[in-house]
Structure 1
């Protein structure tokens, strides 16, 4: 059968979903960049960047399984409404904490603690947001379209991840932190308004009212028994955990490469540009054949790119290295999302997505904390090279202990649907 690269886009609700997703990602990535810049400008301490990651990852991990249970038990569209409202409240709080007339009357420590507290609340919202979006996507297109929908959904995420950091970097330089936060609130409002275009969806779980601990055990049991899912999540988790150079970009931009907020925006956008290009390409040329070995090679390439970035002292070499880290990360993301969509039963999507959030999503913030700690005590460059080297070792170790994962091929799963 001929591949239709636009098959998922032929469903109106799915295209609205993509607009909602890109708006949320724009808001979320811009907010993270603006807060990173503000916090490092106040402290001049790389450890403070790690603390930002820690403040978000603690609630996100702690509540992940509980959030997955709730998502599987509740209607998805309304849950997304609640998540967006929570994000809006947090963004408004950060807007106030960056308002010059307010910050001039507050101690720096008060501002920092306020920012950290709001980031912590953001971690709570994110614990529910990821599983809700993952579960809602599956209700908008037929199952045979899942691989194409996963590709477009990931690509849309990358559009926001490309434009968000770049726009944040330029906006900080042009209109300062406070007004940049106002733009972030606008993106969140756009997502909230668009969500009214998607009607309520049926609840697919046949076990409504199931005791929470039984529900959580079922979700964990499924992940650990499904080797393709477990292998993909584990590999990405460790790679992202030790490849968290992105969290240190304010240090590189301000102190090593000395390129200011505009250069910071370019550096932050470079990996997302690479990831978006590769994901757009995979809509036309699916990478489901020999998916296991491709995932291993992609993560290995990611580690190499991070090492090159760490040792570079030339701005454009650093940008190119980050660009290629995005290409390899994009391949990894498409394969992982396709595995999850194909292998996960409808009634368990919330719980499996929550485990994914614990393994991969939260490892971004935990990786930021790890990078902050290692940069504090090993030096920034050494910390990045160390992280990239650990990523390479992870790939080698995984390929040795899991020959079945190396042979993973998704074509049969797609044909059966």
Structure 2
């Protein structure tokens, strides 16, 4: 069964599988973003502890790290669509459990961390399958447009989610969790409407050799290794968004609505950037664009830490999102284009480890350094470390920093000239 091609600038949206996939991912992301604002604010209101904010990230990352390689193998041996549906259903269960926790009136936060462990386990299996299945839904010529649209729709959800979460939180965290549950029900239904995509499944039995196939592949490709490790260390040190509940409360002296706007700003920047990339994809100076995006991310983090003004912080977070989107777009294209389909799940799992480590482990790192050095110092130090990582990686991975075109584009042009 062949993958349908599109016609027109945004013709990929007329492919039913793609439209169902994008809609499901949008609603699922919207639900998770609303929920994350409520969880962060609720935990901080109960404990008033920066360290406990960091534990939110650790609770999600620990099971993710344990399960992710197995999840990659599962994504290569089973229908990726069904995996995504099962994981969305598990996220729905987590939202319902958070409703129950809130209604119980408990003032101990360990049940929240227990729910987040379940969520992290589901996310471990969903990320490789969700990343890999998009490549199966579209033709090669449509893939870069599909990536940009998937990123833009996700970023729109990241924009709306925190704002809606902050506004609805006024009625109580249980209301936020209930709305999130409803959205996740719709996400499951929409993903169920997609048809199983053609997929080159691995037939190798599970073993340590097959589990580590993705790691071996990434290690053998300096371009891929450089791209995903750059994101890991840059965002690991610059993960100041985990501290936004404390930043809004203690530095800006604002409430949950302002927190929602702050959480929205990076998504707004990323969305506008991804929309631009859908119409004007990056084709030249790929390496410079990627490192420039990460540098902007670090610089924006420093500015956010140094200011006490809401408007300046909002602009800094907006630019942070722009820089992050450029890096994410380039990294995703490099990983998916360079990977054979039969191991795409396992390579996506490795990529997911790096993403998860940079996000959830970065949140823990930010909470830990904030408890050591103070809130503002931790944010500034994190941004400065991101800038340092950018400079070091430009020296370590010169093949990436000097890259002009994506490798598959260069190969296609060479083939056309030869023909």
2:195 is aligned with 1:199: yes
CA deviation after TM superposition for structure 1 residue 88, in Å? 1.0
Q: Which residue of 2 aligns with 1:179?
A: 175
- Judge conservation of contact 2:132–2:336 (CA < 8 Å) in 1: no
2:181 is aligned with 1:188: no
Cα deviation, 1:362-382, whole Å, max 9, x if unaligned, reads 320101100101111100000
- Judge conservation of contact 1:91–1:185 (CA < 8 Å) in 2: yes
In the superposition, the TM-score normalised over structure 2's length comes to 0.94
Rounded Cα–Cα distance in structure 2 between residues aligned with 1:153 and 1:212: 33
- Judge conservation of contact 1:147–1:341 (CA < 8 Å) in 2: no
- Judge conservation of contact 1:292–1:408 (CA < 8 Å) in 2: yes
Q: Which residue of 2 aligns with 1:132?
A: 129
2:61 is aligned with 1:64: no
Rounded Cα–Cα distance in structure 2 between residues aligned with 1:409 and 1:7: 28
CA RMSD, Structure 1 to Structure 2 (Å): 1.4
Unpaired runs of 5+ residues, structure 2, are 1-6, 413-419
Q: Which residue of 1 aligns with 2:166?
A: 169
> What secondary structure does 1:139 align onto?
helix
The verdict on how the C-alpha distance between 1:416 and 1:7 changes in structure 2, with shifts beyond 3 A counting, is farther
Q: Which residue of 1 aligns with 2:342?
A: 347
- Judge conservation of contact 2:305–2:376 (CA < 8 Å) in 1: yes
Q: Which residue of 1 aligns with 2:144?
A: 147
**Alignment counterpart, residue 208 of structure 1, candidates 184, 197, 203:** 203
CA deviation after TM superposition for structure 1 residue 415, in Å? 6.4
Rounded Cα–Cα distance in structure 2 between residues aligned with 1:79 and 1:26: 20
Q: Which residue of 2 aligns with 1:265?
A: 260
**Alignment counterpart, residue 379 of structure 1, candidates 358, 374, 382:** 374
Q: Which residue of 2 aligns with 1:365?
A: 360
2:153 is aligned with 1:156: yes
Rounded Cα–Cα distance in structure 1 between residues aligned with 2:315 and 2:359: 21
Cα deviation, 1:336-361, whole Å, max 9, x if unaligned, reads 11112211111111111111111123
Rounded Cα–Cα distance in structure 1 between residues aligned with 2:131 and 2:166: 29
Q: Which residue of 2 aligns with 1:236?
A: 231
Rounded Cα–Cα distance in structure 1 between residues aligned with 2:211 and 2:52: 34
Q: Which residue of 1 aligns with 2:4?
A: none
**Alignment counterpart, residue 286 of structure 1, candidates 281, 286, 296:** 281
Rounded Cα–Cα distance in structure 1 between residues aligned with 2:175 and 2:259: 18
Number of residue pairs aligned between Structure 1 and Structure 2: 406
CA deviation after TM superposition for structure 1 residue 147, in Å? 1.1
Once superposed, which parts of structure 1, at least 4 consecutive aligned residues long, lie more than 3 Å away?
Answer: 409-412, 414-417
2:48 is aligned with 1:36: no
Unpaired runs of 5+ residues, structure 1, are none
- Judge conservation of contact 1:7–1:148 (CA < 8 Å) in 2: no
Rounded Cα–Cα distance in structure 2 between residues aligned with 1:400 and 1:275: 27
- Counterparts of residues 279-358 of structure 1 (less than 5 Å): 279-358=274-353
Q: Which residue of 1 aligns with 2:111?
A: 114
CA deviation after TM superposition for structure 1 residue 408, in Å? 1.8
- Judge conservation of contact 2:204–2:210 (CA < 8 Å) in 1: no
